[in-house]
Amino acid sequence: MSNVTSISDIKTKKYIGDFQKQEVKFDLKKLKNALNEVLKIKGFDSSLGIPHFAAISLTQIPGDPESIKGSKARGVYWTKPDSTGIEVSRDVNVEESRYTEFVKDFEHTYFKEVFDELKKYYKLGRVRLLLKEPRSTLSWHKDPECRLHVPIITNPGCSMVIENVAKHLPADGRVWITNNTKYHNFFNGGEQARIHLVACVLKSPFKN
């Protein structure tokens, strides 16, 4: 459980441009144990069409398991894929605010407690476990919403880059909010997979 007792306690621990370290903190050992429990039930879905990237959805649209499959597990984003610099959209729009039901298969894990605690303080969309394979990077892109990160497994070679600023997010139980509405990517330069709990944040704390 976090050490925050009311919504008024939500304060930025440290503000670094488009990275906000929050006061909310969870038990890292319990997070890792919960990850192992989830992986006994379901493996990471690497069939999302994004190289070296995989996900496990923790929330869905109530009663709709199809809402966490295929392109709906990815969601819309924008990128500039070639030398023209022309921005294009990829994938489909997702109704983030409808993803309010925690997946029943994982309700016995610590992630359910984490979800219940986070939604007291943040307006959340989809909540997923995201894996980035070693020695790989995402595309240069931007998302419709900010993201909430709880790093679970990382290494010194992992950094998120927003515009031209790189930041390593340590696995210490802390919550980070990142401004994914700006162009960004994530790279894992280590030899170990990176795994974060990542949620879409529907009310941005940033002033773009």
Q: For residue range 61-76, what is the model confidence (pLDDT) as tens digits?
A: 999 999 998 777 888 9
Give the count of alpha carbons within 13 A of 136, CB side only. 14
Whether residue 13 lies inside any domain: the answer is no
Angle between helices 28-41 and 110-118 (to 10 degrees): 120
Note whether 159 and 167 are within 8 A (CB).
yes
Q: What is the CATH number of the domain that holds 77?
A: 2.60.120.330
Range in 28-32, 68-72, 90-94, 108-112 with the lowest mean pLDDT:
68-72
Whether residue 135 lies inside any domain: the answer is yes
What domain range is 136 assigned to? 19-201
Whether residue 5 lies inside any domain: the answer is no
DSSP assignment of 121-175: TS-EEEEEEEEE-TTEE--SEE-SSEEEEEEEE--TTEEEEETTEEE----SSEE
Whether residue 206 lies inside any domain: the answer is no
Whether residue 10 lies inside any domain: the answer is no
Specify the number of domains making up the chain: 1
d(CA 48, CA 200): 18
Whether residue 75 lies inside any domain: the answer is yes
pLDDT at 104: 97
pLDDT at 195: 97
Whether residue 9 lies inside any domain: the answer is no
Could you give the percent of the chain with pLDDT greater than 70?
89
pLDDT at 5: 37
Note whether 196 and 26 are within 8 A (CB).
no
